[in-house]
């Protein structure tokens, strides 16, 4: 379970700013409001997912976990078991994300949109898969059997 090199994470990510927890910020360049969940080491601009999470019904905003060395994402969340929870999480470089299966919704996997990593396909409760993210950027992922029903997520690696 090797870390991801800089080439995978060369996708663009909006910059970091200021300090404080959960706040709304206005970007003077486009006058749009962006928000960030509390929990990290300062405010950041909500990452651009380019429509990736538009059909993910449990996505409201990115969960800020930049203060954690390891973050767990549930696989098989939601009422039907076809969600990741949280679907979008911000982490610092060097953070390990652990996906843990709930046993709901049948067999799932975790596949990077760029195909740089892929877990086993399983429905076993408690099964885990982990990936360490070393470089800044956005990594989009999905469950291959359930991508079309919105089982997608993203890891935003920010300073």
Boundaries of domain holding 116? 23-157
| Per-residue model confidence as pLDDT tens digits over 87-97 | 999 999 999 99
Mean pLDDT of 115-135: 97
Does residue 95 belong to any structural domain of this protein? yes
Q: Total domain count for the chain? A: 1
| Per-residue model confidence as pLDDT tens digits over 4-61 | 443 333 333 333 333 333 333 333 333 333 334 444 556 789 999 999 999 999 999 9
Does residue 7 belong to any structural domain of this protein? no
| Position 127 confidence tier, pLDDT thresholds 50, 70, 90 | very high
Model's pTM, two decimal places?
0.76
Does residue 53 belong to any structural domain of this protein? yes
The two structure tokens encoding residue 133? 């993210």
Residue 130's pLDDT is 98
Does residue 75 belong to any structural domain of this protein? yes
Does residue 18 belong to any structural domain of this protein? no
What is each CA distance from 86 to 2, 67, 99, 158, in whole angstroms?
22, 16, 10, 17
Burial class (CB in 10 A: 0-12, 13-18, 19+), 152: buried
CA quadruple 77, 152, 94, 3: dihedral sign: positive
Q: Please identify which residue in the block is written with the tokens 């996997």.
A: 109
Does residue 40 belong to any structural domain of this protein? yes
DSSP state of 44: B
Does residue 134 belong to any structural domain of this protein? yes
């Amino acid at each position: 379970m090797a870390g991801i090199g800089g080439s995978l994470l060369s996708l663009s990510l909006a910059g970091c700013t200021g300090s404080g927890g959960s706040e709304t910020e206005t970007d003077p360049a486009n006058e749009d409001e962006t928000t960030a969940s509390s929990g990290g080491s300062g405010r950041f601009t909500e990452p651009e997912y380019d429509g990736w999470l538009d059909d993910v019904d449990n996505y409201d905003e990115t969960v800020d976990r930049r203060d954690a060395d390891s973050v767990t994402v549930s696989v098989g969340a939601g009422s039907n078991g076809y969600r990741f929870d949280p679907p979008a999480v911000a982490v610092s470089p060097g953070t390990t994300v652990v996906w843990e299966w709930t046993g709901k919704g049948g067999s799932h996997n975790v596949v990077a949109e760029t195909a740089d990593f892929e877990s086993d396909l399983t429905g076993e409760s408690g099964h885990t898969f982990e990936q360490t993210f070393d470089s800044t950027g956005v990594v989009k992922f999905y469950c291959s059997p359930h991508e079309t029903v919105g089982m997608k997520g993203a890891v935003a690696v920010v300073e």
